[in-house]
Structure 1
Amino acid sequence: MPRILAPLLSAATYARWLHLLIGLIFAGVVLLVFPGTEGRSLGGLLALAVPLDVALLVAAALVPAMRRAEGVQARLLLMPAREQDIAAEPARGFADRRRTAVWLIGRVALGTAVGFPSVLVPAAAVGLLVRPEPDLFGLRLPAREGFTWYPLLAPVLMFALGWLVVWAGRLQLAMAVRLLGPSPAERLAAAELRAERLLERNRLARELHDSIGHALTVTVIQAGAAREVGDPAFVAKALEVIEETGRQAMEDLERTLVLLRETRDTAGTGGAFEGADGADGPATERPGIGQLPALFDTARAAGSPVEAWIGVPAAKLPGVLSREGYRIVQEGVTNALKYAPGEPITVRITVREGQLELRCTNALASSAVRASPRRGGKGLRGIRERATLLGGGAAAGPEAGQWVLAVRLPLRLGA
């Protein structure tokens, strides 16, 4: 019983009913304003109304904004499970206009088919309840005397009308999803927008992981070393490094938050990417290869000797390669500090055969050095993602007693 009654009590049913009745109103208004309808039979009215309605609806469908208006109305009154199942965009081509025309014709036809019973059934139900000689859809019934069961037909008729509206509303919704749903071009654009936003979120996540992860690693190592050594001069130097690293981390966090706000405000228009790569100001300027010496100084202050050789001027590198190269080397140095603290680190950056090569090596942690175990591998995965997006490749793993990170990036993509 609840399954039978629940649709009849649903707000969606009555909202869809209103949507259906609008179709009847359109057909009725056309007949009222068109001359020559008086004295015609029902067949004559239909013969006049159908071609006229179809012509007007097709003409209306040619207006691009009609598709948007119908989509907004369908979203409000048909109550789809997901709003994106019904588009609310203007028609962009002939295919959209054709589907809009079919939708308008079908909507008016279904609305008219449901509208007449919506008027006639309540009138017949009232007649069964109060009239001495009820009139059921033009069929006059015998006098009420001896037929006391007439009033029992009234709720049956209203129940049947209710379920007619339920099924018509569901059919109307299915038509809307089919005919007003996103076109293939709109679905492709939506998929590209989702992919763009996902890529931007992943990029921001990598930025936070690399910059904040490096800062925390250096801070933990410096604090632990200062506690162990206990030398006032060393403690002062460690605090200085912690302060500088924390300041740099705060700048990185502020820049990432600026990019996050731009991503939200542009909503997939490409502005977030432009702001990230365009260096619009100090808040969004990202470090490049030229800032690596400061990174190496931080690692040396943390107790790990760094030998670096940069064989390409930072000014001659494309901006995107310079920035991504910095992050890749930063992650390599951070991993070395985290998993092999105190061990020597070697960094080489060269250009060979039209490719930028970055190689970061460090000795594996000795038995005398405690290194935290690797967990998750998010940093290495981020390096591979950076390299793949730039058309290159990355490899990392133990080699001859050392941990080697090797990345190759094509220079032509940044030119």
Structure 2
Amino acid sequence: MPRILAPLLASATYARWLHLLTGWIFAGVILMIYPGTYHKSLTEILAESVAVDVVLLALIAMLPAVRRVEGIQARLLLVPDREEDITAEPARTWADRWRTATWLIGRIALGSAAGVVSVFTFTVLYDLLIAPKAIVVGVQLAYLERSFWYLPVIPLLVFGYGWLMVWAGRLQLAMAVGLLGPSREERMVEAELRAEQLLERNRLARELHDSIGHAMTVTILQASAARAVDDGAFVARALEVIEETGRQAMEDLERTLVLLREGTEGTAIERPGVEQLPEFIDAVRAAGSLVEASIDVPPGRLPKVLSHESYRIVQEGVTNALKYAPGEPIRIRIAVREGQLELRCANAAQTGGVPRPTGSASRFVGTAQRNGGKGLRGIRERAALLGGEATAGPESGEWVLAVRMPLRLGA
């Protein structure tokens, strides 16, 4: 029983009923203006009014703004499950205009039918509840008292009319979704927008992973070493490195969070690029790691996006080396050759991935620990998005990360 009565009591039903009646009112107003009802048969009235309505609605639908107005009105009164199912954009193509014309004609036709049914139903209810019953006796009109035999018919009539309006409203909603819904071009634009948003989310996730992941790795290694070494000067130096690394991580985090804010203020904050790699390498050396770096990139040669992605790739490669082979020398080489940017990050490694204690920490090296990580997958994604490729794995007793990316994006 609740499932039967719920649609009759829902506010959406009455909003859709109002939307139906506006179509009927429009048709009625046009009928009064032309062709009118004076000295005309019902057939003539219907034929002329239908012709006038169809022509007028088709002409109105040619205006691009009409589609937007109808979409907004349908969203408010037809109450779709998702507002996105009904567009609120103006018509951009002739196909949009013809779909709008079909919608207007169908809306007026369905609304007119609902209006006629409403008038008939309310008239019958009036006769049953209020109007006295009259019969002719001979040549005189005699009025009889109203009887109550028809009272059970009233709730059935109201119930039937209510459900008829429920289904008429649902039919109107289905028409709106089909005819006022996004066109194929709009769906393509929406799909591209969603793809861009997903790419942006992935980019932000990589930013946080690379920056914060590096900071946490350095912090953990320094804290572990400081606890294991009974040297006040070393402990002080380790705390200084932790402080500097944390400050840099906070700056990177701020840059990433700015990308989430609305407005143009985020464009004023520069993200780190190849030019900042010497500072990064110095910080890694200050943390106690041996780093040999060769950066052969002319100033201003790299596009900004390529420069930034290169910085993050090197940062992730060094972080992996610190995490899986702490204490081993790291060799970094960056050069521009034959229209490509080549990055190589290598460190000594053992096969098998067996932990080897170093003080209070343990060293994990080998392919088993690195291949499944999010960092290497992020590096491959960065390189692929820029038209390049990345490989990582053991090579001549070393773990080597090699990346090649074209200088001309999209090449």
- Do they fold alike, i.e. is TM over 0.5? yes
Bigger shift: residues 94-103 or 224-233: 224-233
Residues 202-261 of structure 1 deviation map (CA, whole Å, 9 limit, x = unaligned) = 111111111111112111211221222132221222222122212211111111111111
Q: What one-letter code is carried by the residue in structure 1 that aligns with 2:379?
A: I
1:379 Cα deviation from its structure 2 partner = 1.0
Matches within 5 A, 1:259-270: 259-262=259-262, 265=263
Partner of 1:195: 195
CA distance in 1, matches of 2:149, 2:171: 34
When the two chains are superposed, the root-mean-square deviation of aligned CA atoms in Å is: 2.4
CA distance in 2, matches of 1:143, 1:76: 48
1:371 pairs with 335, 346, 363, which one?
Answer: 363
Confirm whether residue 359 of structure 1 aligns to residue 344 of structure 2: yes
Confirm whether residue 169 of structure 1 aligns to residue 158 of structure 2: no
- Retained in 1: the 8 A contact 2:67–2:97? yes
**Divergent runs of 4+, >4 A:** 142-148, 372-376
- Retained in 2: the 8 A contact 1:68–1:90? yes
CA distance in 1, matches of 2:66, 2:308: 48
Matches within 5 A, 1:383-402: 383-402=379-398
2:286 pairs with 275, 295, 301, which one?
Answer: 301
Q: What one-letter code is carried by the residue in structure 2 that aligns with 1:160?
A: G
Matches within 5 A, 1:183-262: 183-262=183-262
CA distance in 2, matches of 1:123, 1:413: 73
**Counterpart secondary structure, 2:81:** coil
1:326 Cα deviation from its structure 2 partner = 0.8
1:74 Cα deviation from its structure 2 partner = 0.6
CA distance in 1, matches of 2:90, 2:251: 43
Residues 84-133 of structure 1 deviation map (CA, whole Å, 9 limit, x = unaligned) = 11101000011111000000000000000011111220220231234342
Bigger shift: residues 3-12 or 338-347: 3-12
Q: What one-letter code is carried by the residue in structure 1 that aligns with 2:394?
A: P
TM-score, length-scaled by structure 1? 0.89
CA distance in 1, matches of 2:146, 2:56: 52
Partner of 2:138: none
- In structure 2, the CA distance between the partners of 1:30 and 1:20, relative to structure 1 (3 Å rule), is same
**Counterpart secondary structure, 1:150:** coil
CA distance in 2, matches of 1:225, 1:314: 37
- In structure 2, the CA distance between the partners of 1:169 and 1:368, relative to structure 1 (3 Å rule), is same
CA distance in 1, matches of 2:143, 2:228: 108
Q: How many residues align?
A: 394
Matches within 5 A, 1:287-366: 287-364=272-349
Unpaired stretches in structure 1, ≥5 consecutive residues: 136-141, 266-270
Q: What one-letter code is carried by the residue in structure 2 that aligns with 1:22?
A: T
- Retained in 1: the 8 A contact 2:387–2:410? no
- In structure 2, the CA distance between the partners of 1:258 and 1:134, relative to structure 1 (3 Å rule), is farther
CA distance in 1, matches of 2:371, 2:149: 79
CA distance in 1, matches of 2:278, 2:23: 73
Residues 130-189 of structure 1 deviation map (CA, whole Å, 9 limit, x = unaligned) = 434289xxxxxx997897532222222212211111111111111001100000110000
CA distance in 2, matches of 1:392, 1:54: 58
Bigger shift: residues 382-391 or 42-51: 42-51
**% identical equivalent positions:** 68
1:5 Cα deviation from its structure 2 partner = 2.1
